[in-house]
């Protein structure tokens, strides 16, 4: 690490931004902000490239700006990260490392991990040496995360893991995963869970890629057959994994919504995640002067602006305590609904050119709009479904009565599952 990292605490935000601007110009690849390179999450080469860029940031003292210094970060307030992010536009950045590695998993380890886990895993992620992922969802679990049936049995001084996980984002590229497993079946479902930090190259793990309807293979499923872990893999306390998972979900909802202080750069600077350019679509399809099309594009643009304002408002409110941490769910829900509106609007403007190849003049609309439409729902599922998000908002932010749960207080081994 250079001496640069030891001087930032005494700099004003403007001075820090100026130094970042100069460093970026000398060290990071320039790109056209309006024609960004695509970092495909399903391709190993994208992750290798991201790790290379992350190493550059770390060596220059601009990685992990809001993480504590003792764990490889810079220990700076969010305002410094925002200032650096503003300077990053026009440069290739390792954006795919934000979610889930840094903003979710590393942030959760920071809150709940042991000192050794923080020093080893967080610092490795910030350096660009390792990637972290989540191992939460299960084939039979749906949105009921507390209903996991992957089991961790204590045998001697080891934990033996058997079960399966699915929809694990980019797990094929990860080195470690945060995995929730059941360690006590005799207590209610939320009480018998433990979070483990799993080395993904361990014997006893079989991983397969999942092919989506749009042809993407970003997600994975994992099968655990006699995986052995030691006590050093436990995150938090044994049988208190729900507390860790709740914190993890808090970070996930903020990250998916775009409100995490641990994100470097912005998703809108990633060509794979960029919002549709409705005005350009209107022009190329000859509808630029159509008032109805202009109204559609304007509605989407206004929604995008409001989303960014909501991120700032909720982030500040959580920081000063006027809103609880669960308020990050507001960002997550609004982001999902905004994404759906943006994609739906783009397809409405593109018309048939978004679903069939209509020749060279309209080339690109099928790939940029039609194929993207196939995955429009992912934002409403990641981090829990939007229906679950509304429950969180109603019950934990607005104070509405909780929904009836037939399994509340019932030992998990007595809960009816499936058709039983």
* CATH number of 85's domain: 1.10.540.10
* CATH number of 150's domain: 2.40.110.10
Same domain flag for 194 and 85: no
Q: What is the pLDDT of residues 165-211, one digit of tens each?
A: 999 999 999 999 999 999 999 999 999 999 999 999 999 999 999 99
Same domain flag for 55 and 91: yes
Segments in 136-267 forming alpha helices (H): 241-257
Q: What is the pLDDT of residues 109-159, one digit of tens each?
A: 999 999 999 999 999 999 999 999 999 999 987 778 999 999 999 999 999
249 occurs within a structural domain? no
Q: Count Cβ atoms below 10 Å from residue 33 Cβ, excluding itself.
A: 12
Instruction: Report whether 161 contacts 155 (CB < 8 A).
Output: no
413 occurs within a structural domain? no
Band the pLDDT of 272: cuts 50, 70, 90: low
Same domain flag for 285 and 224: no
Q: What is the pLDDT of residues 198-246, one digit of tens each?
A: 999 999 999 999 998 888 899 999 999 999 999 999 999 999 999 999 9
Same domain flag for 167 and 213: yes
Same domain flag for 138 and 125: no
As a whole number of angstroms, the distance between CA 336 and CA 328 comes to 13
Q: What is the pLDDT of residue 406?
A: 86
Same domain flag for 297 and 392: yes
- Token pair 């809150």 is found at 111
pLDDT at 5 over 50: no
Residues of the chain by 3-state class (helix, strand, coil), percent to 5: 50, 15, 35
Instruction: Report whether 187 contacts 146 (CB < 8 A).
Output: no
As a whole number of angstroms, the distance between CA 134 and CA 174 comes to 9
Name the CA radius of gyration of the chain, rounded.
22
200 occurs within a structural domain? yes
What sign for the dihedral angle of Cα 378, 317, 391, 187?
Answer: positive
Same domain flag for 54 and 91: yes
Report how many domains make up the chain. Answer: 3
Same domain flag for 230 and 317: no
> Considering 200, 220, 242, which residue would you say is the last residue of a domain?
242
Band the pLDDT of 7: cuts 50, 70, 90: very low
Same domain flag for 233 and 288: no
What sign for the dihedral angle of Cα 105, 109, 112, 114?
Answer: positive
5 occurs within a structural domain? no
Angle between helices 241-257 and 328-350 (to 10 degrees): 40
Q: What is the pLDDT of residue 169?
A: 93
10 occurs within a structural domain? no
Same domain flag for 110 and 164: no
Q: What is the pLDDT of residue 38?
A: 77
pLDDT at 273 over 70: no
pLDDT at 270 over 60: no
* CATH number of 289's domain: 1.20.140.10
90 occurs within a structural domain? yes
Specify the pTM. Answer: 0.87
Q: What is the pLDDT of residue 418?
A: 66
Same domain flag for 283 and 369: yes
Q: What is the pLDDT of residues 65-92, one digit of tens each?
A: 999 999 999 999 999 999 999 999 899 9
> Considering 223, 242, 261, which residue would you say is the last residue of a domain?
242
35 occurs within a structural domain? yes
What residues make up the domain containing 33? 16-97+106-129
314 occurs within a structural domain? yes
Coil, strand or helix at 168: strand
Segments in 258-399 forming alpha helices (H): 278-284, 291-320, 328-350, 365, 372-373, 386-392
Same domain flag for 190 and 215: yes
Q: What is the pLDDT of residue 419?
A: 57
Q: Which of 379, 85, 73, 77 is nearest to 252 (CA)?
A: 379
């Amino acid at each position: 690490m250079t001496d640069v990292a030891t001087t930032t605490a005494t700099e004003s935000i403007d001075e820090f931004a100026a130094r970042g601007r100069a460093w970026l110009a000398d060290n990071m690849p320039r790109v056209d902000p309006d024609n960004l390179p695509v970092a495909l999450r399903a391709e190993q080469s994208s992750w290798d490239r991201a790790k290379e860029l992350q190493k550059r940031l770390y060596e220059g003292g601009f990685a992990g700006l809001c993480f504590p210094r003792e764990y490889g970060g810079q220990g700076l307030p969010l305002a410094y990260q925002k200032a650096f992010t503003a300077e990053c536009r026009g440069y290739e950045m390792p954006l795919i490392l934000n979610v889930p590695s840094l903003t979710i998993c590393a942030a959760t380890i920071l809150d709940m991990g042991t000192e050794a886990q923080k020093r080893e895993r967080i610092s490795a992620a910030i350096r660009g040496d390792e990637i972290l992922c989540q191992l939460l969802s299960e084939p039979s679990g749906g949105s009921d995360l507390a209903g996991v049936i992957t089991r961790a049995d204590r045998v001697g001084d080891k934990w033996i893991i058997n079960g399966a996980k699915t929809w694990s984002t980019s797990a094929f590229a990860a080195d470690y995963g945060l995995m929730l497993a059941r360690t006590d079946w005799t207590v209610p479902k939320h009480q018998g869970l433990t979070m483990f930090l799993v080395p993904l190259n361990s014997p006893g793990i079989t991983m397969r890629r999942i092919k989506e309807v749009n042809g993407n293979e970003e997600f994975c499923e994992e099968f655990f057959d006699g995986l052995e872990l030691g006590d050093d893999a436990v995150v938090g306390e044994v049988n208190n994994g729900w507390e860790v998972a709740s914190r993890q979900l808090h970070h996930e909802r903020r990250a998916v919504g775009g409100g995490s202080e641990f994100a470097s750069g912005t998703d809108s600077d990633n060509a794979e995640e960029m919002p549709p350019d409705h005005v350009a679509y209107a022009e190329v399809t000859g509808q630029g002067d159509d008032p109805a099309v202009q109204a559609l594009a304007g509605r989407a643009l206004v929604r995008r602006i409001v989303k960014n304002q909501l991120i700032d408002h909720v982030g500040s409110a959580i920081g000063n305590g006027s809103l609880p941490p669960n308020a990050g769910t507001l960002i997550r829900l609004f982001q999902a609904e905004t994404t759906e509106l943006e994609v739906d609007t783009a397809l409405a403007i593109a018309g048939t050119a978004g679903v069939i190849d209509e020749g060279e003049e309209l080339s690109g609309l099928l790939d940029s709009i039609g194929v993207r439409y196939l995955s429009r729902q992912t934002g409403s599922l990641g981090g829990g479904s939007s229906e679950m998000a509304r429950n969180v908002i109603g019950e934990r932010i607005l104070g509405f009565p909780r929904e009836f749960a037939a399994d509340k207080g019932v030992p998990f081994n007595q809960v009816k599952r499936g058709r039983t």
